[in-house]
Structure 1
Amino acid sequence: MTIESEIRQRLVESFAPTRLEVVNDSHKHAGHSGDDGSGESHFSVLIRAEALAGLGRVARHRAVHKALGDLTVRVHAMAIDAG
């Protein structure tokens, strides 16, 4: 299973989002710091879910990080747009 599909699966299971976009941006960072050559080092996530709606920005990000668990340390960078 790819990291991208694991991200998607964990977020769907945790939040049942109404909108979810997981984009692998690793190709934009090839050769840069943090590029481990795996092609799965940088991601962007856009998530909209009722479970996140009442939380502040920091709390939403913490909830996403908690849902992703060990995946957050397996990638170099992850941009999160949660609401």
Structure 2
Amino acid sequence: MPMDSVEIERRIKAAFPDAVVLMVDLAGDGDHWAARVTSAEFAGHSRIAQHKMVYAAIGADMGGELHALALQTFVPAPAPPTP
């Protein structure tokens, strides 16, 4: 059974509590997802390392229950200074 977006987001947020996650079903089949994940925990890590961090959060189901996940990872923009 494919992993749904709620479970993917739950696992990501369990690993990155500050994460903002946007999920998109790419094929309409509940098996091919795109995720845009923004978290301060990505700061100082390469894009490849950020993606590995997310895949680790999903765990062993990556490639099994979750067939495909297209990832975009971001560090939040710093807050503007207060006057």
TM-score by length of 2: 0.75
Compared CA separation, residues 22 and 71, structure 1 to 2 (3 A): farther
Deviations 1:12-71 (A, max 9, x none): 1111234210112222xxxxxxxxxxx221000001101112210110010000000133
Amino acid at match of 2:18: P
Please tell me the root mean square deviation across aligned C-alpha atoms, in Å. 1.5
Runs of 4+ with deviation above 2 angstroms? none
Higher normalized helix content (fraction of residues): 1
Matches within 5 A, 1:53-72: 53-72=43-62
1:6/1:18 CA distance change after superposition, 3 Å: closer
CA distance in 1, matches of 2:25, 2:43: 25
Q: How many residues end up aligned between the 2 structures?
A: 71
Supply the distance in 2 between the matched residues of 1:26 and 1:71 (Cα, whole angstroms). 19
